[in-house]
Amino acid sequence: MEILALSKVTQANGEMTLPGSKSISNRALLLAALSEGQTHLRGLLQSDDVHYMKEALTVLGIMINTLSDTECILTGNANGFPNKDAELFLGNAGTAFRSLTAATALNKGHYVLKGIPRMHERPIKDLVSALHEMGLSINYLENEGYPPLEIFSADIVSDTVSVKGSVSSQFLTALLLSIPMTQKAMTIKIDGELISKPYITITLSMLKDFGIVVENRNWESFYIPAHQEYQSPKDYYVEGDASSASYFAALGAIGGEIKMHGIGTKTIQGDVEFLRALEMMGAIVEWDEHQVIVKKPKSGLKGINLDCNHIPDAAMTLAILALFAEGKTTLRNIGSWRVKETDRIHAMATELKKLGADVVEGEDFIEVSPVEKLNENISIATYDDHRMAMCFSLCSFLVPIIIEDPQCVNKTFPKYFTIFNQLVCE
């Protein structure tokens, strides 16, 4: 197994341009594929997850002319995917797997969707149950409630469907993105609390960009009117990834000053609220429409107690920043961590404890208190989870550290460690 040894560093200064948002990239690819004509997509994230989505759409018969790592011209088809019989391999790309499950189920064909072993451990029952309720035909090929899936041609038999909102917002996003394919009216009712609402805001905003109007009825239900068609905006720009911004914002907060291009006050991603959490901890944040500067506070960071339902991915970075703060940090309402690329609550607690940190792990929370000195040269397991690797790189501001399997960052940010090393110094 490859490892990366990070020396202890003391400063971080400079500026960088964020890679494109993974959430927006994969939504834009699917929406463009369902729109008649060509869409010029710019600023796409270069990563494994986006690669799997592009590869799957190509297998489904969508023409994609790749102009560069971050730019392509996609020729969509308003009648759905031309290929009615296909097998798709989607790695561990949750956004691609969930959205294509719904889209292929509504395409009246025969499909098999598979991924890596961890993808086959990530629950999808709530989405499949909703599709079953609509009359669609989907079988589990291995374990009940989990991928891989086999999908058969079937007709919709209902104009109302319910989906649980407490496990993953990606299930609702998958339905919202795909149901307009049918041109039928549909009401989606939310069963229980809807988590990660900012990600649904992204979905609704992008649907509007592609000509689809959805009525959000107080987050309790969503109404999709009939006879709508996806309309290509012709040119679509993917903004910088706000989740990836959390690591570099943290660099500024603990190491000096970092300017980030690609996010700001105009950002539609909910994870930009991570910067508000940084401000709560005492960091200095200077906002512009499309760039942000984060500076280390003279008085140091302070621990916080925060409901992180709205920033589940970026909240992982707060767990690491707790090591640099005065007082305890409690991150609540993060149960969705347990069904991500790994069980992130357990993984985070396990690796922080290896460093010697004071950690309490709960079913849907984590508490981290700083200690006087951490253990040095500890080898951090990353669990094939890109965010574990990027988060723990920040610990090199306290002690030398070893990151196992650093290439796992390829899922969303292949150049992460290159940029990290350019911004820090000993």
- Give residue 4's pLDDT: 96
**Does residue 313 have an active-site annotation?**
yes
CATH fold of the domain at 3-18+241-425: UDP-n-acetylglucosamine1-carboxyvinyl-transferase; Chain (3.65.10)
Compute the distance between CA of residue 400 and CA of residue 46 in angstroms, rounded to an integer.
29
Binding-site residue positions = 22-23, 27, 94, 122, 168-170, 196, 313, 340, 344, 387, 411
* Nearby residues of 127 by Cβ (< 8 Å), 6 or more positions away: 98, 101, 102, 163, 170, 171, 174, 175
pLDDT at 245 over 90: yes
Tens digit of pLDDT for each residue in 207-218?
999 999 999 999
pLDDT at 20 over 80: yes
Q: How big is the CA angle at 410 (ends 406 and 414), to the nearest 5 degrees? A: 90
Cis peptide before 148 (omega within 30 of 0): yes
- Locus of tokens 């920033």: 311
pLDDT at 339 over 80: no
- Whether pTM > 0.95 for this model: the answer is no
Question: Which of 296, 318, 298 has the alpha carbon at shortest distance from 307?
Answer: 318
% of the chain with per-residue pLDDT over 70: 100
Compute the distance between CA of residue 135 and CA of residue 179 in angstroms, rounded to an integer.
13
Residues of the chain with CATH 3.65.10.10: 3-18+241-425, 22-222
H or E element in which residue 224 lies: strand 221-224
Binding-site residue positions for 3-phosphoshikimate = 22-23, 27, 168-170, 196, 313, 340
Compute the distance between CA of residue 158 and CA of residue 179 in angstroms, rounded to an integer.
12
Question: Which of 419, 425, 414, 424 has the alpha carbon at shortest distance from 16?
Answer: 419
pLDDT at 377 over 80: yes
Residue range 300-313: mean pLDDT, rounded = 93
| Token pair for 107 | 């395409």
Backbone angles phi, psi at 319, to 5 degrees: -65, -35
Q: How big is the CA angle at 331 (ends 325 and 335), to the nearest 5 degrees? A: 155
Burial letters 348-377, b for 16+ CB under 10 A, else e = bbebbeebbbebeeeeebbbbbbeeebeee
Q: Domain 22-222, CATH 3.65.10.10 — does that match?
A: yes
Compute the distance between CA of residue 152 and CA of residue 111 in angstroms, rounded to an integer.
7
Length of the chain as a residue count: 426
- Give residue 341's pLDDT: 76
- Give residue 200's pLDDT: 94
Average pLDDT taken over every residue of the chain: 94
**Residue from 313, 358, 364, 405 carrying the catalytic annotation:** 313
At what angle are helices 386-393 and 242-255 packed, to 10 degrees?
A: 20
